[in-house]
Structure formats: C-alpha cells, structure tokens
Amino acid sequence: MVDQPYAYQRIELTEPDWKRIPGWSEVTTAEWESAQWQRAHCVKNLRQLREVLGAGLDEAFLADLERDQRERATMSMLVPPQMLNTMASSTAPDQPGFTEALYADPVRRYMIPVFSDRRTDWPSHPYSSRDSLHEAEMWAVEGLTHRYPTKVLAEVLPTCPQYCGHCTRMDLVGNPTASAGKLKFGLPPADRLAAMIDYLRVTPGVRDVVVSGGDVANLPWPRLEAFVSALLDVDSIRDIRLATKALMGLPQHWLADDVRAGMERLGAKARERGASIAIHTHVNAAQSVTPLVARAAQAMLDTGIRDVRNQGVLLRGVNDSATALLDLCFTLLDGAGIMPYYFYMCDMIPGSEHWRLSLAEAQHLQHQIMGYLPGFATPRMVCDVPYVGKRWVHQVSRYDTDLGISYWTKNYRTGVEADDPLALTREYPYYDPIYLLPPRGQDWWRARSDAAGPLQLAEKI
Ligand code: SF4
C-alpha cells in the first residue's frame, strides 16, 4: 500500500458500557434505550455531574466548571446520559487518570466547557455578538428567518434535549445563564407556527424550509407532525429539512414507536406530493456515532425520508485535524448511513475564541480532506458570514491575514436589503481569532480595542 497522509480504516461502532459510571451501574438496557429515562436523567448542573460520576471526578474540575458557568457560559448545562457516556469511554471514574481523560475528551470540550478551556487574552472577539448571524433581524414573522431567496429557517421552539457550549443561537436557545439572558418569543407557540405557515402560503418563491430551533426533538410530536404536514400542503415547498442533534444526542427519541410511525406518515405524504424530507443532524466527533445512533438513523431512513445528513461545526480541540474529520465522516457514512454534508466554522458568539479556527485553517482542512471520501459525501467547509450567509471557505473575495479580516460578497439580497443598491457589490467582513494573528495584527486590534472599546470598533474599521 502507498503511504498516505490519512490511512482509512473501517471503524467498528461501540456503545460504551454505561455501567462503568457509578450513577448508572444499575441501569438496565431497557431503561437506557428509553427516551423518557434519558430525558429524566440528563445532567443539568454540577451536583448532578458529581452524583453521576462519583468521587473519581476531581473537585478541581468541578471548580473549573463552576467558574465557567459563573463567568463565561452562554449555554446552560444539559447533557443526556447517551452523550456523557461517550466521553472518556476508555476509562471509568474509579480509574486513575479519569479526570485528565475527561478534560481531554473532544465531546466534553464542547458539551461541558470549563473556564480553563477558554482564552484569557481574547475570550471573545470584539465583533462577537449574541445573534451573530442576525437571524432575528431577518424574521419575516416571528421565528421565521428569510435570509436566502428560496429558503427559510423556521425556528419552531427555543429548546433542545442537549445544550452545546458553542451554540450559534445562544441568544434564543436554552435557559438564561449567569452571563447570558435569552430572547423570548412573544407569540404563543401555536400562533407563531400558524403565522409561519400563513407567510409561506403567500410567498411561493420559497421552496425549502429548514425546521429547526432549538431541536425539533423537543417539540411534542403531534405539533411537529401537524406543522410539517401543513408545510407539505403548501404547493411551492419541495424540500423540508428537520434539524435535530438529538438523532445523536438522544437517539432513543427517534427510535420511539410513536415518532417512527409519525415519520412514516410524513414520509409517505412527502412522496405522494413529490416533495422531500431529510433529517439534518449535528455530530462533531466520531466517538458520538454509537450503534444506537446508527439504529436511529437507519430507522429514519426506513420511514422513506430522503436522507439523513450531518452538519458539524469545526471546533478547536474537538475536530480540528483532517484525521478527526475524516474519521468522523467515514464513521457516519460506513457505520450509520449518515451523509457528511457541511462543516461550519464556529460562529462569532461571545466566549467562542478558543473554539474558533481561522479562515486559513478551515481552507487548509478542506484541502486535506479532499479525495478520500466519495465526492457526494465530501463535506464543504462553510463560513456563515453575517448578512451574507453560507459561503464556501474558498469563496473569499479578499483576505488580510495580518489583521485576520476576510471580505466576502454575495449574489442575492436578504430580507433586510430589499432597497439597498449596494447589497450585491459591498464586501462584508469576517474575523479570525486575534490570538492567532502575527504580532502586527494583534497590536492593531489591541490599539483599537484600547482606544474605542470593543463595541465602537465597527465605526473605526
Ligand atoms: S443542538 Fe443545535 S440549537 Fe441546540 S444547543 Fe446544540 S447547537 Fe444549539
């Protein structure tokens, strides 16, 4: 065999033994595979983490976590047993070195962030913001972002069965934290969903609806089915994508009989209408793809929907190498029949600098993963540029690598630029993490930040 930078090996899926975790040593397979049991036993705070993992977890870790929750966290803690069980799975809390293994674990790094993970020089980029993609500004009706000409994003609820530390929608999703309050929808849920359907009925240019949140797995099934069914009744809608990280974080939900039966009804209706439904999930590390996740993905494909696809997020310390990304993609594809689709650059929310990669790093990773996966399953690295939308990382128009500013153009108007004559010629900036810049660039940002304060920087550039 020719020696290659990446050596493909079929990875066998494994469900780590949850009985190695002290708090779950008596949990039966039937309980573990019950969505209700998983939801009832999610870890939501330090006390529960300590109870589940037992005395093997160092107090120093808990203090590190407590400080993060007090000073930095933008998402509250919510970790289903299914996800916690995949962390540090080669060891157990009663083994020496467990805390170190937990610190180093890629899934832990984004699901249970601790203070020492974060940058202290630039914890947040000066241009980071709560709704960094300005989705709420582009709401056509409450929760319905109309950013692209033919596509909309329907935020049908503001909760998930699991909360990721880097969540792009930290402005809206989840419970308030010590440092981040949350936007509240104003309309009652039924009225909000009805208003979305009404808007789509009179907007025939939209053919594609991403049904998201939050995570659709938290919407009571009858309400989700009624909403998707109503979307299928709108003649112009051809593609519906259901966004659910829970396919990985809580696969038990998608394996439940009522959910499978409901998805079969929706799949049948979609086929009858010549429309397609796909599930879009969010997996960032190969270890998350367990046999239960594969079963859930297969169960969804068996309902006759068109596809199950993965949109991961590029995160330092989690998947920032070609090996980690290719291992993940092959595990998704070979083990679970999930199509690798996108890797988004981590968005510019507060406290995310330690996770974010520079554009140059993302471009390099795109180059490194080419040629191994089938073309149809080779994910694109994507930068979601504020006021622009998704751009392939190589589509950048100009890139000042000293200052870490990339400039992007676009070929359509968003909902807030209907009358803007410059919308299609203007360059829109995006920013690399400052700590990665050469000294000249770092000095430039420091001088401006000292002089103007982060929030006034927009006028200075
Ligand atoms: S599942 Fe998605 S919406 Fe929910 S917290 Fe994670 S990134 Fe945010």
**Ligand 1 atom closest to the CA of 213, numbered from 1:** 3
Residues 6+ apart with CB under 8 A from 17: none
Atom of ligand 1 at shortest distance to CA of 212?
3
Q: Which residue has the tokens 């909902």?
A: 415
Q: How far apart are the C-alpha atoms of 406 and 392, rounded to whole Å?
A: 13
Q: Is 80's C-beta closer than 6 angstroms to any atom of ligand 1?
A: no
pLDDT at 415 over 90: no
Ligand 1 closest atom vs CA 169: 8
- Nearest residue to 162 via CA among 64, 83, 104: 83
> How far apart, in whole angstroms, are the C-alpha atoms of residue 155 and residue 172?
10
- Burial of residue 292 (CB within 10 Å: 0-12, 13-18, 19+) is buried
Share of the chain above pLDDT 70, in %: 98
For ligand 1, whether the C-beta of 214 sits within 6 Å is yes
Residue 262 banded pLDDT, cuts 50, 70, 90: very high
Residues 107-127: what's their mean pLDDT?
A: 96
Residue 456's pLDDT is 45
What average pLDDT does this structure show over 112-130? 95
Residue 386 in contact with ligand 1 by CB distance below 6 A: no
For residue 452, the model assigns a pLDDT of 65
Q: Give the full edge-to-edge strand order of the sheet including 398-400.
A: 398-400, 405-408, 428-431
Ligand 1 centre to CA of 249 (Å) is 10
Which residue among 79, 164, 175, 212 has the greatest number of ligand 1 atoms within 8 angstroms of its CB, and so is best to mutate? 164
Exposure of 241 in the CB half-sphere (CA atoms within 13 A)? 21
CA–CA separation, 241 vs 277, rounded Å? 6
pTM of this prediction exceeds 0.85 = yes
What is the average pLDDT value for the chain, to the nearest integer? 95
* Torsions phi, psi for 234 (to 5 deg): -85, 115
For the chain, how long is the longest CA-to-CA vector? 65
Q: Cα(164) to centroid of ligand 1, in Å? A: 6
Cα 185 to averaged position of ligand 1 atoms, centre (Å): 17
Q: Indicate whether residue 173 lines ligand 1 (CB < 6 A).
A: yes
Of 130, 159, 171, 173, which is best to mutate to test ligand 1, by the most ligand atoms within 8 angstroms of its C-beta? 173
- Residue 3 predicted with pLDDT over 80: yes
Q: In whole angstroms, what is the distance from residue 412 CA to residue 396 CA?
A: 16
With contact defined as beta carbons under 8 Å apart, do 267 and 308 qualify? no
pLDDT at 137 over 90: no
Tens-digit pLDDT profile for residues 279-327: 999 999 999 999 999 999 999 999 999 999 999 999 999 999 999 999 9
Task: Please tell me whether residue 196 adopts helix, strand or coil conformation.
Answer: helix
Average pLDDT over residues 137-160: 95
Q: Is 158 in the pocket of ligand 1 (CB under 6 A)?
A: no
Atom index in ligand 1 nearest the CA of residue 174 equals: 5
For residue 281, the cross-strand partners are 310
Angle at which helices 257-273 and 221-232 cross, to 10°: 0
Kindly state the tokens that stand for 70. Answer: 């007090």
Angle of helix 189-201 relative to helix 221-232, nearest 10 degrees, comes to 10
Which residues neighbour 272 within 8 Å (Cβ) at sequence distance 6 or greater?
Answer: none
- Rounded to the nearest 10 degrees, the angle between the axes of helix 322-330 and helix 359-369 is 50
Decide if pLDDT at 407 tops 70.
yes
pLDDT digit string, tens, across residues 206-257: 999 999 999 999 999 999 999 999 999 999 999 999 999 999 999 999 999 9
Whole-number pLDDT of residue 92: 97
Given the CA of residue 243, which atom of ligand 1 is nearest to it? Answer: 2
Residue nearest to ligand 1 atom 7, measured at CA: 167
User: Read out DSSP for 250-289?
Assistant: -HHHHHSHHHHHHHHHHHHHHHHHT-EEEEEE---SGGG-
Residue 259 Ramachandran class (φ > 0 left, ψ -120 to 50 alpha, else beta): alpha
pLDDT, residue 460, reads 34
Q: What is the pLDDT of residue 457?
A: 44
Q: What is the per-residue pLDDT for 84?
A: 98
163 alpha carbon – ligand 1 mean position (Å): 6
Q: How far is the CA of 215 from the centre of ligand 1 (A)?
A: 7
How close is the Cα of 250 to the center of ligand 1, in Å? 13
Residue 282 beta carbon below 6 angstroms from any ligand 1 atom: yes
Residue 166 Cα to ligand 1 midpoint, Å, equals 8
Crossing angle between the packed helical segments 46-53 and 59-71, to the nearest 10 degrees: 160
Mean pLDDT over 128-145 rounds to 91
Secondary structure percentages of the chain, helix, strand, coil, to 5: 40, 15, 45
**Using CA positions, which residue lies closest to atom 1 of ligand 1?**
245
Mean pLDDT, rounded, for 59-63: 98
> Which residue, judged by its Cα, is nearest atom 6 of ligand 1?
164
Tell me how far apart the alpha carbons of residues 383 and 373 are, in angstroms, rounded to a whole number: 21
- Ligand 1 atom 8: residue of nearest CA: 167
Sequence-ordered alpha helix ranges (H) in 54-209 = 59-71, 81-84, 98-104, 106-111, 189-201
Nearest alpha carbon to residue 408 among 433, 377, 382, 434: 382
Is residue 169 in contact with ligand 1, taking CB distance under 6 Å? yes
- Is the pLDDT at 101 greater than 70? The verdict is yes
164 CB less than 6 Å from ligand 1? yes
Gap between the Cα atoms of 258 and 241, Å rounded? 20
Res 459 pLDDT > 60: no
Q: Which of 248, 250, 282, 310 to mutate to test the pocket of ligand 1 (most atoms within 8 A of CB)?
A: 282
What mean pLDDT is predicted for residues 152-171? Answer: 96
**In the prediction, which pLDDT does 1 show?**
80
**Confidence check: pLDDT of 66 > 50:** yes
Q: pLDDT digit string (tens) for 361-372? A: 999 999 999 999
pLDDT digits (tens, 9 = 90+) for 15-54: 999 999 999 999 999 999 999 999 999 999 999 999 999 9
Rounded to the nearest whole angstrom, what is the distance from the C-alpha of residue 167 to the centroid of ligand 1? 5
pLDDT at 291: 98
